[in-house]
Amino acid sequence: MATSTGTLQTTPLQPQDGVLRWDIDIPLLTNVHMLRAMLTVTLGSAALVGALVSLMLAVQGDWSAIPPLLGLFAAAGLGFALLALLVMGLVFGNRLRARFSVDDQGVGFQTRDRVAKASNRAALVLGLVLGRPGAAGSGLLAMTQEQQTLRWTGGFRAEFDAAHHSIGLRNRWRTLLRVYCTPDNHAAVCALIREQMARHQTAERAAGRSPVGGYLGRTALAVLACVPMFLLAPVYGHGLLLPLLLMCFAIASVWFVRHLAWVVLGCGAALVVSMLMAGLALRESSFSRGTHFRRYEVLSGDDWALTALALLGLAYLAWHAVQTLRARTVPALEADLQDAEGP
């Protein structure tokens, strides 16, 4: 029985027509893999948000506000990590009920824990009701992870962890699924996974360099392309919201799904229209009453240089968005799904 000590509760291995299927209570607080993933999500999210907000402050020249802000986000990340530990122990009872299966098609995972399913749906509903897209997105993402299938026609390799009776199925850069076994069935599951992966040459399709460098490079280019728009906010009066949305969705289109690129195109078009309207708007001179001028006529050389850089950045973002929508550039999450399921 699963208790606070993290003991695995399982049902006997059920071999049926070449299928291995078993239920298991996965420990949480005593699970090094689960703890590592939780810390990566909580602290990594805090670091990412802190970096984006710090960039906005740096663009505005408010450098003195960055150190205390980073400290605040670090404290928030640690707070969320501690909260996650409490939820694991008190709400989930240090266990997650799950079902695994291995057959000639692939590896399957299904969440059987009612508390986990209810928590995911509550996060989605509360996020929508309270207007918190982050919470709603986390709940929706967790719901999509309640059932997963990795097919042998995909591209991943197996890392066998005999000490924890688990098997990590990894593509070129991350673990797509971790299979938790019992002490009794671990050897049989490992043997079947080795056999099927050798038969379908699954590991060979996961060979090659990690794509993380490419994702990080495209992320850096997206951020740099947006910086001139932040600097031009006081010049054209378009504010910081549109450049911020543009940057966030440009980054998201690198890491998640291609359809987010439509938002990048929309934000870019809105910024171009806003800059044109502001540049062509008539203003009355404060020195000569009755004399009018257009804003673009009094732009300085630096303003024109920033405008050129901004348009160049928008052109790059539009090009990248089109490449993404045409599937010539594949976001990280979509690439992972291809590795999991194959062609």
**How many domains is the chain built from?**
2
Q: What is the pTM of this model?
A: 0.84
What is d(CA 234, CA 311) in angstroms, rounded to the nearest whole number? Answer: 16
Residue ending a domain, choose from 170, 189, 206: 206
Contact 124, 139 (CB under 8 A): yes
The torsion angles phi and psi of 308, rounded to 5 degrees, stand at -65, -45
What is the domain extent for residue 322?
A: 212-341
Predicted pLDDT at 4: 35
User: Cβ–Cβ contacts within 10 Å for residue 98, how many?
Assistant: 19
- Are residues 192 and 253 both part of a single domain? no
Burial zone of 47 (CB within 10 Å; 0-12 exposed, 13-18 middle, 19+ buried): middle
3-state SS class at 156: coil
| 66 CB-near residues (< 8 Å, 6+ apart) | 54, 57, 58
Lowest mean pLDDT among 126-130, 141-145, 326-330: 126-130
pLDDT in tens, 70-83: 999 899 889 988 98
- Are residues 220 and 161 both part of a single domain? no
pLDDT in tens, 248-286: 999 999 998 899 999 999 999 999 999 999 988 877 656
Q: Which residues pair with 161 in a beta bridge?
A: 166
Which segments of 169-300 does DSSP mark as H helices, in order? 186-200, 212-231, 233-236, 241-255, 261-280
Predicted pLDDT at 318: 98
pLDDT band of residue 16 (cuts 50, 70, 90) is: low
Share of the chain above pLDDT 90, in %: 59
In a domain, 166, yes or no: yes
Burial zone of 282 (CB within 10 Å; 0-12 exposed, 13-18 middle, 19+ buried): exposed
The first and second tokens of residue 287, run together, are 């020195």
pLDDT in tens, 143-194: 667 789 999 999 999 999 999 999 999 999 999 999 999 999 999 999 999 9
- Are residues 195 and 217 both part of a single domain? no
Mean pLDDT over 201-227 rounds to 95
Predicted pLDDT at 142: 65
Return the higher-pLDDT residue of 223 and 57.
Answer: 223
Predicted pLDDT at 291: 62
The angle at the Cα of 119, spanning 28 to 148, to the nearest 5 degrees, equals 70
Mean pLDDT over 313-325 rounds to 98
Predicted pLDDT at 334: 93
In a domain, 5, yes or no: no
Lowest mean pLDDT among 128-137, 205-214, 295-304: 128-137
3-state SS class at 292: strand
Predicted pLDDT at 127: 58
- Are residues 163 and 228 both part of a single domain? no
In a domain, 161, yes or no: yes
- Are residues 182 and 252 both part of a single domain? no
In a domain, 1, yes or no: no
Residue ending a domain, choose from 180, 206, 232: 206
